[in-house]
Amino acid sequence: MKTTYSISKGQSQFPTLVRAAQRRGVATITKHDEAVAYVVSRERWESMIETMELLASSAFQRQWRRLRAGKVKYHSLEALPG
């Protein structure tokens, strides 16, 4: 399914454009062959919001730095109690 639409095609094929965004996560709207807007699926939008919330968290940033520095110890699921 196509994921790039001119403004006029997007208007005339709006339901198809929305389905493309649902399936692929995003559909691009162009004007004179240049991207000017995006139709984003709910799932992709929620994922972007969650990522932004994590990146804004100081606790997450501390843990991310520890992970990148190799200071995080991993355990297998089998090693967990219970």
pTM: 0.69
47 with 66, same domain: the answer is: yes
9 with 34, same domain: the answer is: yes
10 with 37, same domain: the answer is: yes
Owning domain of residue 34? 4-41
Measure the CA angle with vertex 66, ends 60 and 49; round to 5°. 25
Q: Is 64 exposed, middle or buried (0-12, 13-18, 19+ CB in 10 A)?
A: middle
With bands split at pLDDT 50, 70 and 90, how would you rate the model's confidence at 7?
very high
Residue 25, pLDDT above cutoff 90: yes
- Residue 51 domain-assigned? yes
Domain count, the chain: 2
Q: How far apart are CA 78 and CA 56, in angstroms?
A: 33
- Residue 77 domain-assigned? no
- Arithmetic mean of pLDDT, 34-60: 96
